[in-house]
Structure 1
Amino acid sequence: MQVNWRWIQAARNSCAVLSAACEREGFPLQVVESPADDITCYSLNSISEPAFRDEIANTGCITVVGGPHATACPREVARYADYVVVGEGEYTLPRLLENLRNGGDGRIPGVMAGDWFKPATTSVRLDAYPAFSEIKGYIEISRGCPHTCGYCQTPRIFGCCMRHRSVDEIARFARRHSQLRFVTPNAFAYGSDGIHPRWDRVERLLAACKNQIFFGTFPSEVRPEFVCETSLELVTRYCANKKLHFGAQSGSDRVLGMLRRGHTVSDILHACDLCREQGLEPVVDFIVGFPFETDDDQRATLAMIQEVARNGMVHVHRFIPLPGTPLAGSVARDLLPETETVLGSLALRGRLTGSWNDPAVRFFRHTPK
């Protein structure tokens, strides 16, 4: 039985992780750029899903679809896919493939097959699965997030309790990379509950990895309230990056409160100041167009964007109402003309990146047709 993985650039790390998990159970995944027999697997987010829906529905092979969109909208995906993996895939996908190889109907916990579904009764312990195998990827060091930001799918997919890969396992996989970049919702939360940092554990991790380390930069960004003298001293002592990437999301305390972000505008400004004092360039994320954002809220965000851009970089995206989140089904508000003008000007000056007009741009720029 041949099992294929449909290559999608935005899901490249999922490919590395699930290839390793399946390979260990005797199901090597063949990477393909179009569906092929016997089985083709897909990992879709809510932006890429519309582009692959017809392909999946019209292919002649068995199709298995997972990823954030499948987890949030399994019944919708089950209308055109044969099997939908809901939630974490390291344990469920190999079990599904084994079931199908043995002539089963795919009705196992964690998989929607037609109208049948039973939730998975397990969660993934990261140390129980390899970070990658032949297809190398970033090393996922933590999973889950205790912060329930209104726009974010992470705690809805992986839960609110953080799970961490052990230092020894991270160091073992790190030896296969010349440069290290990690996958985590908050790099500075490593080893902690995600609210109360454990700097001793972060330091033990960094000291154990002998490679060139990039920590607190994409895809291991941090939260602004975790930026402090201790965290920055660890970065400057052990790491190679000269930038620190963290999420502000809004320059309005009212909006931050409604989003349940768990930090304030002053936390953002303080983080920027600390970065500059330590010789690190802040790279700060913002989201514009929240549905409840007033003109004054948007102007406050715009003012903060301009402030950050004076001595740092800004990354801006248009709000996307992701399914499975409290803001699912809402509509992004229009941007003020002055917002469009300032964002465009900063982009031309090389101080701002992102996709504030077309939120899908970053997902399709390198995706095979």
Structure 2
Amino acid sequence: MNVNWRAIPQANNTLAVLSAACEVHGYHIEVTDRPRPDVTIYSLNSINERLYRDEIAGADCITIAGGPHPSACYREAAQYADYVVVGEGEYTLPALLSALEEGKEPPPGVATAAGYIPARHTVLLDGYPPFSRITGFIEITRGCPFSCGYCQTPRLFGRCMRHRSVDEIARYSSRYRDIRFVTPNAFAYGSDGIHLRLDRVERLLRSLNGRIYFGTFPGEVRPECVSRQSINLILDTCANTRLHFGAQSGSDAVLRRLHRGHTVDDVIRAVDLCRENGLVPVVDFILGLPFESDDDQRATLDLVKLVTRAGTAHIHYFMPLPGTPLQNNPPRSLLPETKKVLGKLALSGRITGSWMDHEIRFFRHTSHL
């Protein structure tokens, strides 16, 4: 049986992970620029899904869809794809390929137009390689204990953090000169995500050889985790001169409604610590949140201006993602003064992202993944 992967730039790391998992079970995946027999696999998010929906529906082969959007909207996706892998795919995808080869019913964790039975497993990261023939970033942690209203991560991967072992991370990182990681919070490695274990972070970092980039995209940190101790780990063991973390709002009221789990003061403290120690802060913000008042938006703009005195702000315009608590809440408009200030900051190179077009922001930010 020929198994193909539809090339989509924003899913390159997912390709590396699932290609390696399929190899473990004896399936070799070929990358293609269009659907091909016998099976073609798609990994989609909520921005690019509409670009491939008709192609999948009209494909002259068996189609499998997975990724954040099909996982959250599996009933909808099962109307145009033959099979939908919901959630984690390392175990489910090879099991589905085996079922197709043997003419059996799909395993739990796969939705079809006929229905869906949830998966009965959770992936142990050490049970599967982070990559094999097709290389990618090394995922060191999966899951997030927080429940931010806009975020799909805890809904896809759960709120219990799972970590790849130091030995396995060191083994695969030896293939790189520059080492980068996938994680929802780099400083939470080895912990429950709330009570940090920086001793375990230090053990990990000191076990690696090469130029380590830790706490940068695609493995950022949370602002309340930025401390003198955590920054010293970066300075002592890593090559990065930037630290990337999310503020999301300059209003404590908004942060509470988002269930972010940190305050504006945590963000300011993290920015100050970066500046005092020679690290450039790169800070994410979301504008246009549905319950954001004019004053809340102005407070966020003030925090953006504070950040850009020491570093860079990355601006997102709120997009309601399926499967999240805010999925049915459209974004609010930006104030004229907000657009004016953001325009000036963009021209001076102090902010990145897009606050008008989701696709521009998404494709620019992820084109290298």
Identify the TM-score tier after normalising by the shorter chain. Answer: over 0.9
Aligned to 1:179: 178
Aligned to 1:133: 132
Q: CA deviation at 1:24?
A: 1.4
**Contact between 2:70 and 2:86, CA under 8 Å: does it hold in 1?**
yes
User: Gaps spanning 5+ residues in structure 2: where?
Assistant: none
**Contact between 1:71 and 1:85, CA under 8 Å: does it hold in 2?**
yes
Distance 1:273 1:206 in 2: 24
Report whether the alignment pairs 1:96 with 2:99. no
> The residue matched to 2:146 in structure 1 has which SS?
coil
Distance 2:339 2:28 in 1: 47
- 1:298-337 correspondence runs (5 A): 298-337=297-336
Report whether the alignment pairs 1:214 with 2:216. no
Aligned to 1:268: 267
Q: CA deviation at 1:79?
A: 0.3
Aligned to 1:66: 66
Q: Which amino acid aligns with 1:315?
A: H
Q: CA deviation at 1:259?
A: 0.2
Aligned to 1:81: 81
Q: Which amino acid aligns with 1:230?
A: Q
**Contact between 1:48 and 1:364, CA under 8 Å: does it hold in 2?**
no
Q: Which amino acid aligns with 1:261?
A: R
Distance 1:286 1:113 in 2: 37
- Tell me the TM-score normalized by structure 2: 0.98
> The residue matched to 2:358 in structure 1 has which SS?
coil
Distance 1:64 1:11 in 2: 14
Aligned to 1:238: 237
Distance 2:156 2:131 in 1: 21
> The residue matched to 2:342 in structure 1 has which SS?
helix
**CA offsets 1:238-278 (integer angstroms, 9 cap, x no match):** 00000000000000000000000000000000000001111
Q: CA deviation at 1:362?
A: 3.6
- 1:1-369 correspondence runs (5 A): 1-105=1-105, 107-365=106-364
Distance 1:246 1:38 in 2: 43
Cα distance change, pair 364–55 in 1 and its aligned pair in 2 (3 A): farther
**Contact between 1:142 and 1:165, CA under 8 Å: does it hold in 2?**
yes
Q: CA deviation at 1:183?
A: 0.1
Q: CA deviation at 1:33?
A: 1.1
Q: Which amino acid aligns with 1:211?
A: G
Q: CA deviation at 1:63?
A: 0.3
**CA offsets 1:183-236 (integer angstroms, 9 cap, x no match):** 000000000000010010000000001110000000010000000000000000
Q: Which amino acid aligns with 1:134?
A: R
Distance 1:260 1:363 in 2: 24
Distance 1:201 1:364 in 2: 34
**Contact between 2:316 and 2:361, CA under 8 Å: does it hold in 1?**
no
**CA offsets 1:152-194 (integer angstroms, 9 cap, x no match):** 0000010000000000000000011110000000000000000
Q: CA deviation at 1:364?
A: 3.6
> The residue matched to 1:134 in structure 2 has which SS?
coil
> The residue matched to 1:160 in structure 2 has which SS?
coil
Q: CA deviation at 1:329?
A: 1.3
- Tell me the TM-score normalized by structure 1: 0.98
> The residue matched to 1:314 in structure 2 has which SS?
strand
The runs of at least 4 aligned residues of structure 1 exceeding 2 Å deviation read 362-367
**CA offsets 1:53-106 (integer angstroms, 9 cap, x no match):** 11101111110000011110100000000000011000000000011011224x
